[in-house]
Structure 1
Amino acid sequence: MTSTAMGLDFGTTNTVVALGSGPGAADVLSFPHGDGTRTFRSALCFWADDDGKRAQILHEAGPWAIDEYLAFPQDSRFIQSFKSVAASKTFEHATVFEKRLRFEELLSHFLDKLIAHGGLKMPERIVIGRPVQFAGSRPDEALALERYGRGFATLGAREIAYVYEPLAAAFSFARQVEDSATILIADFGGGTSDFSVVRVNAPGTGARCTPLGHAGVGIAGDRFDYRIVDRLVLPLLGKGGFYRSFDKHLEIPRGYFADFADWSRLALMRNRRTLEELRKLAKSAVDPTGIERMIRLIELELGFPLYDAVGRLKRELSGSDTARFQFSGGGIELDEAVDRTAFEDWITPDLAEIGAAADRALAAANTAPADIDRVFLTGGSSLVPAVRQIFIDRFGEARVAGGEELTSIAHGLALVGQEPDMGGWTA
């Protein structure tokens, strides 16, 4: 497929592509996986293929990467959410079968497969979404953009531009606005929550949209997932338990649970030294059940299905007051009831930081809450009721809307890419 402009929403969890199809119009690309999917998982799977002479490292991306990993979990290296390290000075490379891959190399491998599976031909202009604030405790924006530049350069487009992700969503949402309005756009991805205040003019009255101010915070859906893991799952794997040391009962060292912040890091625990330490710990544990579960999770590479169950619980709690966390694999059976109120209590500190970032966007735009006519929420975590409640409390339910949670950014990027002058939108 080809177009004069492409919108590329490279997300922490999913990537979405949209193609300009004429002035004021764009179509979101569907990838031929299963019955078709408009989201391309931001993931890579590597494996070694022995051709009889020497081993070659092959790779897949998106949903095809998940297929490869699930088929051969112990013979592959699976990487996802690598966007979250784009701005990290401490991240230098990922080691894949003794080969070191920098961020831009991971991105290039990912884009190669995305283009191939989408059957895409490069347009003259590609517009790429970027967060207002990159993920990480001390994100280095210049470093992230330098890495982006090297990675996206492999696409070979004549012109590449970057647009704040909530601004792209604003451009898409503006199609629904018939009168002049001041809009707050809130975009909740996997790694960041970003906000933009935009003035939208009525059709035929000059510039359609004018950006007024932005803010962001490195907290979003992935942080919510980890809260579930930390408060619900890890106690089932031994966290908070005790082991015997001579005549004392000591708490199981919490360092063993640190890597569960990112399930893909569990693969690094599958080494002889760590597993031997855990087996010794299980023998001296007051209740060895949890540690034995953790050993099986690590040995059988069950991190992905475990986190998949966590994500499923989060989604179910968005539509129900109670849900069950259910995981089955490797002889492990977990089934726990969870109330939405408990989940909301776990994420209370994160909700406060998200609300503060929204307030900073209003301050940057020199706009009071009363002057906001519409609030548009997008991104998967916008479906979490406690997230939505932040904006209902500030602006009233009548002004808060949502929709196209996974595709609005890519759609807006493709629309921006068809503008004769993108100067007011690029970042």
Structure 2
Amino acid sequence: MSLILGLDFGTTNSVAAIAGAPGAAPALISFAGPAGTSPLFRSALCFWQEAGAPDGLAREAGPWAISEYLGFPEDSRFLQSFKSVAASASFEQASLFTRRYRFEDLGRIFLSRLAAHAGGALDGRIARLIVGRPIDYAGQRPDPALARARYDAMFAGLADEIVYVYEPLGAAFDYAAGLDRAATVLVADFGGGTSDFSVVRVAEPGAARRCRPLGHAGIGIAGDRFDYRLLDRLVLPLLGKGGQYRSFDKLLEIPRSWFSDFADWSRLALMRTPRTLAELERLRRAALDPEAIGRMIGVIEHELGYPLYEAVGQTKRALSTAERAPFRFEGGGLRIEAEVTRDAFERWIAEDIAAIEATLDRALAAAGVTADAIDRVFLTGGTSLIPRVRRLFTQRFSADRIAGGDEFTSIAQGLARIGTEADPGAWAS
């Protein structure tokens, strides 16, 4: 059996959908994970040492990776948001125990475990694989050519035909399937790593080419950056950020690179190497507040990145429905209990919201349209549920033009729909 598969390889979660007949709704692949069945497959990996395993390391992905980590946190290496380093030239290899893995190595392991947990849904030959990609990649000075080369290596051999499509364009296809008239649609996709915008002209139902892209823009700011703002205010000061250390007869500020790496979910687990821990121990001995650096070492040594991620995520999600929310974390010698108001959180992310709005303006300009020319605004991605993000659109567009729904699955379903087109390469990016 030949399959047409749409794959939303996300920073936080990945989703896969199998296309049906042209015009029919795609079928989402569900994963019967340890905590229940869901179409969301966490974009995470866990490695642990095991005799007889490839390279001496056993590995799992998705919710099974989380389960393995929770069972033996200090004996495992847990990686999350690793998509964020796809376009980073500074990332060469991940050192895990005694092995080194390139991005494409991690990606292939991730895909193989996703397929293994698909309940046989991916056992057939994939004729077409439509893969979503961000408009702009996450990270400082992202290199799109490098990301493309890594994606090519990651997906090589998985299908007879592989097409990369902008993620918001996939969401536009899915949204267009429910429209009964022509419209100019702005799709705003807010994920973990990037915020992407596509302006699409949707033709009348039955048209030979239903969706015609008019313009795109993207930025590497989204949910993970909002996480960083919470960490920066609530956690990093207790780990030494802003502190000083002695170097001979001088007092110097502790390099901020330590804290930017610590607050990056894709890099935190990779700090647990003998070399990095030895450098932090030297810094601890020279620091004016050695206990703060000791707390950072404790979090890293005890592999507490996932519990910290969950604590931040719980607070962020709670602030989407409440005016204030608690933040609690304990581990590695670090204990924090604080209350965060939505007003404070929105002040902390104000710079990011301004950058996102400027990117929206670029998308409209690239399409050659004004806000008044947009008939519908479709918001998708988990970060679109944050009130300050939604308010950006209610302030720019009338509320009756804004739609949401299927925030986590619309991209994969739309990519699968593109796969049924006679020439899916017409939407390639």
1:341 paired to 2:343:
yes
Question: How far is 1:117 from its partner?
Answer: 0.7
Structure 1 counterpart of 2:128: 125
**1:199-238 counterparts in 2 under 5 A?**
199-238=201-240
Structure 2 counterpart of 1:40: 41
Aligned partners of 1:116, 1:29: CA distance in 2, in Å? Answer: 12
Residue pair 2:26, 2:413 contacting (<8 A) in 1 also: yes
Alpha carbons of structure 1 residues 251 and 143: separation in structure 2 relative to 1, 3 Å: closer
Could you tell me which amino acid in structure 1 is paired with residue 376 of structure 2?
Answer: R
Aligned partners of 2:108, 2:69: CA distance in 1, in Å? Answer: 20
Question: How far is 1:196 from its partner?
Answer: 0.4
Residue pair 1:132, 1:214 contacting (<8 A) in 2 also: yes
Residue pair 1:191, 1:219 contacting (<8 A) in 2 also: yes
Alpha carbons of structure 1 residues 51 and 23: separation in structure 2 relative to 1, 3 Å: closer
Question: How far is 1:243 from its partner?
Answer: 7.3
Alpha carbons of structure 1 residues 253 and 99: separation in structure 2 relative to 1, 3 Å: closer
Aligned partners of 2:253, 2:424: CA distance in 1, in Å? Answer: 58
Aligned partners of 1:276, 1:423: CA distance in 2, in Å? Answer: 53
Equivalent pairs, count: 421
Structure 2 counterpart of 1:50: 51
Residues 293-323 of structure 1: CA deviation (Å, up to 9, x unaligned): 3343223221210121001111111111111
Aligned partners of 1:56, 1:225: CA distance in 2, in Å? Answer: 34
**1:235-384 counterparts in 2 under 5 A?**
235-241=237-243, 254-263=256-265, 264-269=267-272, 271=274, 273-274=278-279, 276-277=281-282, 279-280=284-285, 284-285=288-289, 290-330=292-332, 332-384=334-386
Residue pair 2:79, 2:269 contacting (<8 A) in 1 also: no
Residue pair 2:247, 2:286 contacting (<8 A) in 1 also: no
Q: Structure 1 stretches (4+) deviating beyond 4 angstroms?
A: 241-256, 288-292
Structure 2 counterpart of 1:4: 3
Residues 263-318 of structure 1: CA deviation (Å, up to 9, x unaligned): 44255256452453365367x53xx6644533432232212101210011111111
Of stretches 269-278 and 58-67 in structure 1, the one that deviates more from structure 2 is 269-278
Aligned partners of 2:199, 2:212: CA distance in 1, in Å? Answer: 9
Local SS of the residue matching 2:20: strand
Structure 2 counterpart of 1:409: 411
Structure 1 counterpart of 2:148: 145
> What TM-score, normalized by structure 1, do the two folds share?
0.91
Residues 194-253 of structure 1: CA deviation (Å, up to 9, x unaligned): 110011122134432211111111111111111110112212334345679999997666
Question: How far is 1:329 from its partner?
Answer: 3.5
Question: How far is 1:342 from its partner?
Answer: 0.8
Local SS of the residue matching 1:134: coil
Structure 2 counterpart of 1:395: 397
Aligned partners of 1:230, 1:362: CA distance in 2, in Å? Answer: 32
Aligned partners of 2:396, 2:31: CA distance in 1, in Å? Answer: 39
1:98 paired to 2:98:
yes
Residues 28-59 of structure 1: CA deviation (Å, up to 9, x unaligned): 1110103212111111112221349x971221
Aligned partners of 2:138, 2:12: CA distance in 1, in Å? Answer: 13
Alpha carbons of structure 1 residues 100 and 377: separation in structure 2 relative to 1, 3 Å: same
Alpha carbons of structure 1 residues 423 and 249: separation in structure 2 relative to 1, 3 Å: closer
Structure 1 counterpart of 2:174: 172
Local SS of the residue matching 1:204: coil
Question: How far is 1:82 from its partner?
Answer: 1.7
Question: How far is 1:158 from its partner?
Answer: 0.9
Residue pair 1:49, 1:55 contacting (<8 A) in 2 also: no
Residue pair 1:195, 1:215 contacting (<8 A) in 2 also: yes
**1:149-160 counterparts in 2 under 5 A?**
149-155=152-158, 157-160=159-162
Unaligned runs of 5+ in 2: none
Unaligned runs of 5+ in 1: none
Of stretches 268-277 and 399-408 in structure 1, the one that deviates more from structure 2 is 268-277
Question: How far is 1:73 from its partner?
Answer: 2.1
Residues 48-91 of structure 1: CA deviation (Å, up to 9, x unaligned): 21349x97122111111112222222222222222112122222
Could you tell me which amino acid in structure 2 is paired with residue 257 of structure 1?
Answer: F
Of stretches 206-215 and 272-281 in structure 1, the one that deviates more from structure 2 is 272-281
Aligned partners of 2:254, 2:360: CA distance in 1, in Å? Answer: 39
1:83 paired to 2:86:
no
Aligned partners of 1:193, 1:55: CA distance in 2, in Å? Answer: 37
Residue pair 1:278, 1:295 contacting (<8 A) in 2 also: no
Alpha carbons of structure 1 residues 410 and 51: separation in structure 2 relative to 1, 3 Å: closer
Question: How far is 1:179 from its partner?
Answer: 1.5
Residues 166-185 of structure 1: CA deviation (Å, up to 9, x unaligned): 00000000122111110000
Identity of aligned residues (%): 58
1:115 paired to 2:118:
no
Local SS of the residue matching 1:354: helix
Question: How far is 1:23 from its partner?
Answer: 2.1
Residue pair 1:94, 1:102 contacting (<8 A) in 2 also: yes
Could you tell me which amino acid in structure 2 is paired with residue 126 of structure 1?
Answer: L
Local SS of the residue matching 1:320: coil
Of stretches 311-320 and 228-237 in structure 1, the one that deviates more from structure 2 is 228-237
Alpha carbons of structure 1 residues 148 and 252: separation in structure 2 relative to 1, 3 Å: closer
> What TM-score, normalized by structure 2, do the two folds share?
0.91
Superposition RMSD on alpha carbons, in Å? Answer: 2.5
Alpha carbons of structure 1 residues 387 and 310: separation in structure 2 relative to 1, 3 Å: same
Aligned partners of 1:250, 1:105: CA distance in 2, in Å? Answer: 39
Residue pair 1:327, 1:333 contacting (<8 A) in 2 also: yes
